[in-house]
């Protein structure tokens, strides 16, 4: 049982390049989330998917898009990366609204 997995672990991009961060969970959870964590700050919600087929904006959605491919997978896309998107990105999932979220190991992204 792998829990929540994320790929890649680390990525360097040049300004303007695009990339997709992948996330998958094997816990049959309904809701999935993307967060970013910056130094001296807590995790901030970028986008979430309450269930398969639905996505919605979180606190800091600008510059990102998401796709809930199926119940297991939730990807985050940067269409044109900017240095301000240098961060650590975490994916999370939860079964119901009252249960805790389980996090993946993170993707460290550096945009030059």
Partner 1 sequence: DQQVKQNSPSLSVQEGRISILNCDYTNSMFDYFLWYKKYPAEGPTFLISISSIKDKNEDGRFTVFLNKSAKHLSLHIVPSQPGDSAVYFCADNLPMFSGGYNKLIFGAGTRLAVHP
Binding residues for partner 1, per CB under 8 A? 4, 30-31, 33, 40-45, 48-51, 54, 56, 90, 92, 94, 97-106
Residues with Cβ < 8 Å from 42, sequence gap 6 or more? none
- Residue bearing tokens 């491919």: 69
CB closer to partner 1, 22 vs 101: 101
Cβ-based nearer residue to partner 1, 44 or 63 = 44
| Cβ distance to partner 1 smaller for residue 14 or 40 | 40
Provide the minimum distance between the beta carbon of 101 and partner 1 in the complex, in angstroms, as a whole number: 6
Given 3-state DSSP classes, what are the helix, strand and coil percentages for the chain, each rounded to the nearest 5?
5, 50, 45
d(CA 112, CA 104): 25
CA distance 99 to 77: 27
Instruction: Give whichever of 17 and 108 is closer to partner 1, judged by the CB atom.
Output: 108
Least distance to partner 1 from the beta carbon of 36, Å? 11
């Amino acid at each position: 049982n792998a829990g929540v997995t994320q790929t890649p672990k680390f990525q360097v991009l040049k300004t303007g390049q695009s990339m997709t961060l992948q996330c998958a969970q094997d816990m049959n959870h309904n809701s999935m989330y993307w967060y970013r964590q910056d130094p001296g700050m807590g995790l901030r919600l970028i986008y979430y998917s309450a269930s398969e087929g639905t996505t919605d904006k979180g606190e800091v959605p600008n510059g990102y898009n998401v796709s809930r491919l199926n119940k297991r997978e939730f990807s985050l896309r940067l269409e044109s990366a900017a240095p301000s998107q240098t961060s650590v990105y975490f994916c999370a999932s939860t079964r119901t609204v009252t249960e805790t979220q389980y996090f993946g190991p993170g993707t460290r992204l550096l945009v030059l």
